[in-house]
Amino acid sequence: MKEDPFKGNRSPNGNKNNKDDFQWKKGTRSMLFWVILFLGIAFFATIFPVGGKNPIEIDYSTFLKHLDSGNITKGEVVVNEGANDFIGYLRQPYEESLPNGKVRQYDKFKTTLPPEYVNNDVIKDWQSRGIEIKFMRVSTEWLEVLGNFLPWILLLGFWV
């Protein structure tokens, strides 16, 4: 008897041992690979940001200690709504002990200042201490946004 080329190879008794059926083991392994890859990229993107070395977040009293000691050489005031961020650069690296017993060293820090804190008198005081001041606004330029989303766009493009 000649086989019909349009009929499948599946037997009429419902036997599911056909190689054409979806193989859950391979599909799950493939999906697991993509999920792990996605989470790995997200993890490394948060650990190693594009902008380079992140400043250490310090409290206001530590900021005042650096200011009084004259260890700040340059400052960037990032103007936000509600509060201003001050990113400071130190003349010499500062070493401090953390509550868990570890010691950290930094030469770039960030602290949050109230919006009414930065005025002409404070700016004159900073300048008299030899601190170079630079004011910046928070910008979401389209190139910066595209640069942040480009790895995700490429990942989705290769996946699909």
**pLDDT tens digits for range 119-154:** 889 999 999 999 999 988 876 666 677 677 777 777
Q: Determine the topology of domain 56-148 in CATH.
A: 3.30.720
**What does the pLDDT read at residue 87?**
93
Matching residue, tokens 């190689």: 19
Report the C-alpha gap between 20 and 97 in whole angstroms: 63
The pLDDT assigned to 90 comes to 95
Lowest mean pLDDT among 18-32, 55-69, 72-86: 18-32
Q: How far is CA 15 from CA 9, 18, 19, 34, 93, in A?
A: 10, 7, 11, 32, 73
Q: What is the mean pLDDT of the chain?
A: 80
What pLDDT is stored for residue 21 in this prediction? 60
Looking at the chain, the whole-number percentage of residues with pLDDT higher than 90 is 33
Q: What is the pLDDT of residues 22-48, one digit of tens each?
A: 666 777 777 888 888 888 887 777 776
Domain boundaries, the chain: 56-148
Give yes or no for residue 10 having a pLDDT over 80: no
Task: List the Cα angle 103/109/111 in 5-degree steps.
Answer: 115
The pair phi, psi for residue 100, each rounded to 5°, is -85, 5
Could you tell me the pTM of the whole model? 0.56
Nearest one of 79, 105, 75 to 93, comparing CA atoms: 105
Strand spans (E) along the chain: 56-57, 72-79, 84-97, 103-113, 132-137
The rounded distance, in Å, linking the Cα atoms of 58 and 107 is 12
